[in-house]
A and B are shown apart, each in its own frame.
Chain A
Amino acid sequence: MEKKNAPVILNVEHLKQYFNITRKDAVKAVDDISFHIFKGETFGLVGESGSGKTTTGRAIIRLYEPTAGKITFEDEDVSKLKGKQQLQKFRRDIQMIFQDPYASLNPRMKVRDIIAEGIDINHLAKDENDRNQQVDELLETVGLSKEHATRYPHEFSGGQRQRIGIARALAVKPKFIIADEPISALDVSIQAQVVNLLKKLQNERDLTFLFIAHDLSMVKYISDRIGVMHYGKMLEIADADELYAHPLHNYTRSLLSSVPFPDPEYERNRKVIDYDAAEENDGKERSMVEVAPGHFVRASEDEVPEYKKRLSETPLFKEV
């Protein structure tokens, strides 16, 4: 894809994020993952609930101190950022749209002030008038109307609240947006609008996205490349089309077979491929192997030939 000639904007190297390390019940939420994101592309992150997607996003925006590993944004080691100015710039450059539209909006603030918070902190408005106008435009951009600005979050439906969160993220004109399940609370018609909107914003503003989701059809549609996570590990990374044409890892295959289609006949006959994580508890050493250009799969040495064979098979999910 053409974006591969673009510079790398974010590089995650051997990131580990453990919780409760000192306790017996330590959680290896993210366990030695590496990936990079090119400027201007959308990198989709999919995987089972609890696989560490949100934790990865939160580690990138420095909500946690990584247990190990290095995160580089625009060639700067994120953990080494210091001083109010550097941090404020970093917090403006990377915005996160949260999974939970309820918890992330202050119930006592009017929508106008929620959206304008970043504008105020970063002094992005000339005056009150300009501030209001920016908010009105943002509301319109996300499919709400300026009349909504004077209302409080509880007066909105789940989907409407998520759009307020998107408007808030866009307000500070970020370079990089981590969208954590930004559309799962939206109904399909608005999903399509928001996804089209994100694509349009990306083209116009040269935005880069880390798009976390479990709706695989939407992820495929919006992403240039996709990473598949499971139990804190990255199992497969490939171009979106390639991943769907040739899912290599058994978990990826299971994931794709679970995608529901808006077609009752298909649904009545759908066969879900089961995946048992225990199949990799064999003590073998595994690492990311590039089995085809740009197509990485976590494999042991002796598994590589099988994966290469799978590459040449007819696509599992060819168009119907």
Chain B
Amino acid sequence: MENQNDILEVRDLKVNFDTYAGEVKAIRDVSFDLKKGETLAIVGESGSGKTVTTRTIMGLMANNAKIAGGSIKYKDKELLKMSDKELSGLRGNDIAEIFQDPMTSLDPTMKIGRQVAEPLMIHQGLDKKTAMDKALKMLKLVGITNAEARINDFPHQFSGGMRQRIVIAIALVNNPEIIIADEPTTALDVTIQAKILDLMNELKTKIDTSIIFITHDLGVVAGMADRVAVMYAGKIVEYGTVDEIFYNPKHPYTWGLLNSMPTISTKGNSLPSIPGTPPDLLDPPKGDAFAPRNPYVLKIDTLEQPPFFKVSNTHYAATWLLDKRAPKVTPPAQIVERQKTYAKLKGVSLEQVQNGGE
């Protein structure tokens, strides 16, 4: 490990898919670290590669996927060189997953009590009775009402939200080192979501679990994440602490994301949305992939990929706007409001916030 606080290091990961239409370059040089005990949120547009990134970490690749380069280190072990057997030993034990779609992780033919108990029997060698007792406790913990009776029900007998709570119970039951949560609360209503997120946070501090949290709900990110990585078209375009990303974002894509979130007080006929569609990853553009949709586009964006510019020791953004030669631009009004909060939090002037960076 490059840094002893890291539990996971992803470097220059490239993943392609062979399709009828050609090669989809889904992950294009993604690098990030996960520190012990932290929650790293990955946010970004649909199709930007969040799920593929984490599926690759888990060693759960689609048949047509090809790793075209890079490395993934978990506690000094190279995951990309592990056998399927070693990987499946890690899954559900060291690294647990909570997927976007509960039905992909539930066995429709198995009673739910047994599904929660099984990982305990496999990975911890508990006998059936002890495992079932623990399973029942876990199901209660995630808020399944009348759990004693319902352990004998099958997944289809539950609503979408309840199914996801069962999946969360399965993921948490073995106290994993890393939890990869891919939109874990998307199917839940907010009151249950608040409980599940509290539960995840509590577990995180209790057993020092690290969490990779994928969601498009920036409200959830604001409450869960220690650090945030923003993905666009198969690349990370900005990363920093939660305060840096929410109050002092530098990439125009991050501006667009924050801007298109309605708050309780948003009114009017149309939400600010990011115009256009994401690029075709069969043939990714030469320069900054966001250029065609970027209201602040510079000539160089269409020609050359921007490197990461350092904003602080913890905050980097890949946008030419941070280059010394770039013109100073004023971000959207809502973002300026956020910068004001940042200035207040840091005890500096708005100007200092806006001019920060190298």
Q: Is the CB of A100 within 8 A of B103?
A: yes
Q: Is B46 an interface residue (CB 8 A)?
A: yes
CB <8 Å contact, B277 and A264: no
Which residues in A have their C-beta under 8 angstroms from that of B160? 49, 54, 99-100, 181
Q: Which residues of A contact B216 (CB under 8 A)?
A: 159, 186-188, 191
Q: What is the distance, in angstroms, from B171's C-beta to the closest C-beta of chain A?
A: 18
Which of A103, A159, A190, A262 has a CB less than 8 Å from the CB of B221?
Answer: A262
Task: Of the listed stretches B117-125, B127-135, B173-181, B183-191, name the one at the interface; the rest are far from the partner chain.
Answer: B183-191
CB contacts (< 8 Å) of A215 on chain B: these are 190, 217
A267 to chain B: which residues have CB within 8 Å? 219, 222-223
Contact: A185 with B190, CB < 8 Å?
no
Query: Quick one: given A49-B161, A189-B256, A189-B273, are A264 and B190 in contact (CB under 8 Å)?
Result: no
What mask results when residues 191 to 233 of chain B are scored 1 for a CB within 8 Å of chain A, else 0?
Answer: 1111000000000000000000000111111110000000000
Is A259 touching B189 in the complex (CB atoms < 8 A)? no
Q: Is the CB of B188 within 8 A of A155?
A: no
Do the beta carbons of A199 and B270 come within 8 Å of each other? Answer: yes
Cβ-neighbour of B46 out of A150, A159, A220, A258 (below 8 A):
A159
B293: nearest chain-A partner, CB-CB: A189
Does any Cβ of B come within 8 Å of A272's Cβ?
Answer: yes
Interface residues of A in 174-199 (CB under 8 A from B): 181, 184-193, 195-196, 199
Are B269 and A199 interface neighbours, CB within 8 A? yes
Q: Identify which of B78-86, B90-98, B258-266 touches chain A.
A: B258-266
Cα–Cα, bound, A51→B21 (Å): 43
Name A213's closest neighbour in chain B (CB-CB).
B189
Contacting residues, chain B, for A145 (C-beta < 8 A): 277, 280
Q: CB-CB < 8 A to A103: which residues of B?
A: 103
Q: How far is the CB of A112 from chain B (nearest CB, A)?
A: 13
Does the CB pair B272–A192 fall under 8 Å? yes
Stretch at the interface among B239-247, B300-308, B347-355: B239-247
Which residues 194-221 of A have a CB within 8 angstroms of B?
195-196, 199, 214-218, 220-221
Residues of B within 8 A of A165 (CB): none
Docked complex: B20-68 residues within 8 A CB-CB of A: 20-21, 24, 43-48, 51, 62
Other 7 A-B pairs with CB < 8 A, given A50-B158, A147-B21, A262-B263? A54-B160, A102-B104, A159-B216, A189-B260, A195-B271, A217-B219, A260-B223
Q: 26 A-B Cβ contacts within 8 A?
A: A46-B189, A48-B192, A49-B188, A51-B189, A102-B101, A102-B103, A144-B277, A145-B277, A157-B51, A158-B101, A159-B46, A160-B46, A185-B46, A185-B183, A187-B46, A189-B257, A189-B260, A214-B188, A217-B219, A218-B262, A221-B266, A262-B219, A262-B222, A275-B191, A319-B264, A320-B265
